Amino acid sequence: QVHLAESGGGLVQAGGSLRLSCTASENTFSDYRMSWFRQAPGKEREFVASISRSSTATWYADSAKGRFTISRDNAKNAVYLQMNSLKPEDTAVYYCAAVNRIVDITTEDYDEWGQGTQVTVSS
């Protein structure tokens, strides 16, 4: 079991960048596939990006492709989401999630979730 904590959210103008971080409390972090989801006001939580345990593979939602980059550092028990060219529609609470089972990574079938960090993009 890992406990996750996100940071790095904030207010940014459209076209700007933010880097979100998610740190895990347990040294078994490398056993987990890590993903980022987001939830905009009045909408369901949606998949953003995912990275395999050894960083050999990444997946992105269409909305994130070409603008967002997911990465991880297992030595630091951390996963990151670099977000560039931000748009007002990227405004949401961003969550990191961890899973050590084979699942459909785009669904919410994850073992652990962080509390979320707010990202607000002004026009």
Q: What is the pLDDT of residues 43-89, one digit of tens each?
A: 999 999 999 999 999 999 999 999 999 999 999 999 999 999 999 99
Split at pLDDT 50, 70, 90, the class of 27 is confident
Look at residue 31 and give its three-state secondary structure: helix
Split at pLDDT 50, 70, 90, the class of 20 is very high
Q: What are phi and psi of 76, to 5 degrees?
A: -105, 5
CA-wise closest residue to 79 among 24, 116, 2: 24
> Could you give the dihedral angle defined by the CA atoms of residues 6, 96, 28 and 69, in that order, rounded to the nearest 10 degrees?
-100
Distance CA 78, CA 21 (A): 7
Task: Give the side-chain half-sphere CA count within 13 A for 115.
Answer: 5
Helix (H) or strand (E) holding 82: strand 78-83
Residue 5 CA to its chain's centroid (Å)? 11
Q: Sort residue 116 into left (φ over 0), alpha (ψ -120 to 50) or beta.
A: left
What does the DSSP 8-state code read for residue 52? -
Split at pLDDT 50, 70, 90, the class of 26 is confident
User: Do you know the residue count of the chain?
Assistant: 123
